[in-house]
Amino acid sequence: MGSSHVNLEETPSKQEQDSSDNTLSALDIFDTDAQTLVNPINCVGVMGKGLALEFAKRYPVMYEDYRLRCARGEVRVGQPYLWRSPTRWVVGFPTKRHYRSRSRLDDIRRGLKYMVENVSEWGIESLAVPALGCGEGGLDWEAVEPIIRDELARIGIPTILLAPRPTGAGQD
């Protein structure tokens, strides 16, 4: 695998990063040209808030697949899975066990390791990753960002990392 390119998309209020491969933007994950988007989910079959809700609205067939997987007990933290449609691929990334629970850094870390280990097998060629666990999950971006960056540095494909939206804009 070649080296990965991590492109950090941030809200305009943030200061420019030192690294030359980072850019500033209020880019929405759905507006990226990434082949595959990462959807932060819980393990009980509810996409009722934040970014997960937007995924459910845009990809109702994916949402139904997710609900069925949850009903069968197949959705677990630390084990993201790939859903494919003819137009877009989505990684269901469990960031917390229940929609009422908070996300845990260790669960984010384990899920990232699992995803990185499976990207090649899944055939993913480019990836857009939101601020996992930082919206409805309640984690601080300052704690999550280095974990995501460390894992994405091993991925070997073009990757866009999106910083949290401004307060109230919702990411899970």
**Distance spanning both ends of the chain, measured CA to CA:** 30
The dihedrals phi and psi of 17, each to the nearest 5 degrees, come to -80, 160
CB 149 within 8 A of CB 6: yes
Q: Which residues are tagged catalytic?
A: 96
Strand partners, 92: 39, 81
- The CATH H-level (homologous superfamily) assignment of domain 6-15+22-162 is Leucine Aminopeptidase, subunit E, domain 1 (3.40.220.10)
Q: Which residue bears the tokens 């994916």? A: 62
Please report, for the chain, the start and end positions of each structural domain, with discontinuous segments joined by +.
Answer: 6-15+22-162
- Full pLDDT tens readout for the chain, 172 residues: 343 444 544 433 333 333 323 332 345 899 999 999 999 999 999 998 889 999 999 999 999 999 999 999 999 999 999 999 998 999 999 999 998 889 999 999 999 999 999 999 999 999 999 999 998 889 999 999 999 999 999 988 999 999 886 654 444 5
pTM of the model: 0.83
CB 64 within 8 A of CB 98: no
Give the whole-angstrom CA distance, residue 56 versus residue 52. Answer: 6
CB-count exposure of residue 22 (10 Å: 0-12, 13-18, 19+): middle
Strand partners, 127: 36, 159
